Structure 1
């Protein structure tokens, strides 16, 4: 596989993990840029990164940069994605790729116009186990898919100053963890939901602390989602059909799926599917991104991100939640 000059914006926890994955899969990292220059220099040294830039835009416009990885707070994603695409660079951006559907539509159109790959960092789109589950569903072994249930709950420390609860930084459960749950739901629904029912509890800063969401599409498939930033939940997804159901634990980086077949009313049978390694989640992301760039298309992944972005927008509209910069 060809080696690419990846340039990273951000040096936080997920950027640290991505750098390790890049060094394994790609064998090198070209450049990095972040706000804290001392920390950025230290990061570059630890990850054997060739160049350090004080200005992310200068790094983006460096002719040697092939692909830009963005791991900043949500509010900066749009401007860096747009700048990178305009500079002719492929982009891999952490979720939420943009803070609203309008921003998403703009960068999606720009990527298509420039014939560039734009990918969102949903690990579940890259974990090998999902290919096996999709094959099972395509083969009709679960019958007609009727219902998807999915949870994601984090227990963040009570701190109104933290970015997770900052309205100015597009905080709240929906954009921080809700994208994963919504992406899981959309992955297993045959088409985009057009009906949203939801209720929310707001944190004192005005962002969503926890919520319940019901989605329904024209085929009357239903997804039920529960989210929280102040109550831990298992990261669990269930896909239910007329012939059985699939249970997937720790679904963002899942390696196992339990299938229960229910066609026999008197006796159920089950099987376990396994594939992949949770520790390799970001390696799978890098491998897929580089394959997308080589083949010139993303296997429909940006279209899924489009649907997720629009669902998140519809949910926020139902809540009446707007960020100060919108």
Structure 2
């Protein structure tokens, strides 16, 4: 890796890849040097759009590029295991979009491969790197809310989406849970860790993916999380954390909030607002900065998005899908 700049390769050319690449170009210590897609035309169009010097019409060529320090994998969920594994096998560090994979088995295979090769690997759970979410986490860890009793979070968007859309296509890992539900579940994990119990119910599409899913997670401490995700209804996308001595409310966009409010008995509510100096609150730059910090430090995983957390979240998502009956083509566990 170069001392001054981290050289990025981007694998896939969809909307999230474009958003992340745009944010990388705003960082002075990041350089996007290559992009890969399944076709030359798509890779070249993306390269021209962002001024990327090398474009590959196959993933293996990007993985073999010795001038790439880390590959950002932005394919649909079903391809994460294959794409990230290809890059790790070739000796490339990887930042892989969420959900990390389609199930815990595949996630474990990637983690084992990265550890065997001594390579950096991180799930692109940008929420964990958000400065305001980090502040909330610090308040919880410092006991500002006392003993945590309840977490609530929801994420729903209003379709309707046609059966061919990736959100309804089983072949692309469709459904609300892996695309949107990963955020409420990850938020609950951030606050309370891995649950000891999971209960879930879903409304399924004719294709067999979940249109909406409700979840209740429980912990041995007595704490509970009430979570919801949907691709058939727009929800507030709000979250709250309630403890024995206070509560935090995030009124909207909880995974990249503009603000949250801390309520404690006998005190005036305290508002925490995103710092404009941190850049746009919907920016992916914070996770990119954390990746580059880790690479420069020689770390193989991030303390903000540890691999143990990503594996635990995948186990919870597996448990939910087992209960609601969602299975993807060719999936084994």
Q: In the alignment, is the contact (CA less than 8 A) between 1:255 and 1:278 conserved in 2? A: no
Cα distance in 1 for residues equivalent to 2:210 and 2:230: 8
Report the secondary structure of 1:290's partner residue.
helix
Cα deviation, 1:25-79, whole Å, max 9, x if unaligned, reads: 1342110011343232122112110101111111101222211111111111101
Q: Does 1:321 align with 2:320?
A: no
Report the secondary structure of 2:46's partner residue.
helix
Cα distance in 1 for residues equivalent to 2:226 and 2:282: 29
The match for 1:246 is 248
Aligned counterpart in structure 2 of residue 293 of structure 1, from 276, 292, 295: 295
The match for 2:273 is 274
Cα distance in 2 for residues equivalent to 1:104 and 1:60: 19
Number of equivalences: 321
Report the secondary structure of 1:5's partner residue.
strand
Report the CA distance between 1:300 and its aligned residue: 5.4
Q: In the alignment, is the contact (CA less than 8 A) between 1:71 and 1:94 conserved in 2? A: yes
The match for 1:143 is 146
Report the secondary structure of 2:286's partner residue.
helix
Q: Which moved more, 1:155-164 or 1:210-219?
A: 155-164
Cα distance in 1 for residues equivalent to 2:203 and 2:282: 35
Cα deviation, 1:287-316, whole Å, max 9, x if unaligned, reads: 011112122141152221111111001111
Report the secondary structure of 1:165's partner residue.
coil
Question: Could you tell me the TM-score, scaled by structure 1's length?
Answer: 0.94
Report the CA distance between 1:112 and its aligned residue: 1.6
The 5-angstrom pairing of residues 63-82 of structure 1 reads 63-82=66-85
The match for 2:106 is 103
The match for 1:219 is 221
Structure 1: gaps (5+ residues)? none
Cα distance in 2 for residues equivalent to 1:135 and 1:100: 29
Structure 2: gaps (5+ residues)? none
Q: In the alignment, is the contact (CA less than 8 A) between 2:140 and 2:191 conserved in 1? A: no
Report the CA distance between 1:149 and its aligned residue: 0.3
Cα distance in 2 for residues equivalent to 1:250 and 1:280: 9
The match for 1:237 is 239
Report the CA distance between 1:6 and its aligned residue: 0.8
Cα distance in 2 for residues equivalent to 1:204 and 1:280: 33
Question: Could you tell me the TM-score, scaled by structure 2's length?
Answer: 0.92
The match for 2:264 is 261
Q: In the alignment, is the contact (CA less than 8 A) between 2:159 and 2:231 conserved in 1? A: yes
Cα distance in 2 for residues equivalent to 1:86 and 1:2: 26
Aligned counterpart in structure 2 of residue 312 of structure 1, from 317, 325, 332: 317
Cα distance in 1 for residues equivalent to 2:67 and 2:279: 32
Cα distance in 2 for residues equivalent to 1:174 and 1:154: 12
Q: In the alignment, is the contact (CA less than 8 A) between 1:292 and 1:298 conserved in 2? A: yes
Cα distance in 1 for residues equivalent to 2:255 and 2:321: 22
The 5-angstrom pairing of residues 19-58 of structure 1 reads 19-25=21-27, 26-58=29-61
Cα deviation, 1:192-216, whole Å, max 9, x if unaligned, reads: 1021111111011110011110001
The match for 1:183 is 186
Cα distance in 2 for residues equivalent to 1:322 and 1:218: 29
The match for 2:207 is 205
Q: In the alignment, is the contact (CA less than 8 A) between 2:249 and 2:260 conserved in 1? A: yes
Cα distance in 1 for residues equivalent to 2:155 and 2:185: 10
RMSD: 1.5
Cα distance in 2 for residues equivalent to 1:274 and 1:102: 39
Report the CA distance between 1:152 and its aligned residue: 0.4
Report the secondary structure of 1:223's partner residue.
strand
